[in-house]
Amino acid sequence: MAERAAGADDPRLAPLRMRERQLTTIADRRSDAAAGRFVAEGDLVVERAVAAGCTPEVLLCGDAEAARLEPLVAGSGCTVLVAGEDVRREATGLGVALGAIGAFRRPAPRTATDVLADARRIVVLDRVDNPGNVGAIARTAVALGWDALLLERTSADPLARRALRTSMGAALSLPWARTDDLAGTVAGLVRDGVDVVALDPGGPADASALPAAARRAVVLGAEREGVDPDVAAACSTVARIPMAAGTDSLNVAAAAAVACWLLR
């Protein structure tokens, strides 16, 4: 049964006020066990987290959202709290009173081997450290039918608050994993017959003219540095997205959207 929050300082709301490093440490993210929490912001993202099988710990909702979400978390041990807009705004520090926000236990990490085994379309991120970009890329990948996301260790967390908010929860349905050796993992994909395309504004191939491939991966790098040279060397092809003269590059999330459409 939903309860009324005692106020913005209600101790049961503590997980919602945690900063990113409090929700999940670097050690948590590198562990093979489920550790730490993530926060789902917005009623749709909360619903998608529940649908993905994630375990909720506490939800803070408006009255209408509580009535809809409470049956979905029944029996999970989750505390469902109801509060007005002022309390929801103050408790979360977002500046807006979302209809629902929830703290969930992080799911157990998946291995790259598991995620890549049956994937036909794979997005690979090399040092993409902005969580908003990672979230936008995850949302694009799901929308355009790509079925896996691979990140090296320094790329942003797909379950970071901003990433998950930007992706509208897409990272909860997109299988993803990290690798400590991106060049080696990419080389393994090539050996397995995957056509791996690294994107670079100066790439010799035209991404819009590449032939179809049964299995394909697209590799996107950091905003300024691009794809690491060792990673690019391990790929099947280095390609560019044709752009108007005088344009040096696209934002990595925009480049991912174009590439996922061209190479799908």
Domain at 173, CATH number: 3.40.1280.10
Confidence at residue 255, expressed as pLDDT on a 0 to 100 scale: 96
Asked whether residue 167 falls in the same domain as residue 257, the answer is yes
Beta-strand pair 195-199/237-240 = parallel
Give the CATH number for residue 43: 3.30.1330.30
Among candidate residues 105, 129, 164, the one where a domain is terminated: 105
The domain boundary, picked from 71, 105, 139, lies at 105
- Using one digit for the tens of pLDDT, what is the confidence trace for 32-48? 444 688 999 999 999 99
Indicate the residue among 105, 133, 165 that finishes a domain: 105
**137 versus 27: which is more confidently predicted?**
137
Average pLDDT (214-230) is 95
Element holding 149 (H helix, E strand): strand 148-152
162 and 250 belong to one structural domain = yes
Query: What pLDDT is stored for residue 245 in this prediction?
Result: 85
For residue 139, give its domain range: 112-262
Distance, CA of 112 to CA of 178 (rounded, Å): 6
Check pLDDT > 70 for residue 71: yes
pLDDT confidence tier of residue 26, bands split at 50, 70 and 90: low
Question: Is the overall model pTM greater than 0.85, yes or no?
Answer: yes
Most confident residue range from 7-16, 80-89, 128-137? 128-137
Q: How confident is the model at residue 6 (pLDDT cuts 50, 70, 90)?
A: confident
Same domain, 97 and 200: no
- The answer to whether residues 219 and 135 belong to one domain is yes
Q: Say if residue 63 is in the same domain as residue 138.
A: no
For residue 22, name the pLDDT band (cuts at 50, 70, 90).
low
Q: Both tokens of residue 2?
A: 């939903």
User: How confident is the model over 121-132, as a mean pLDDT?
Assistant: 97
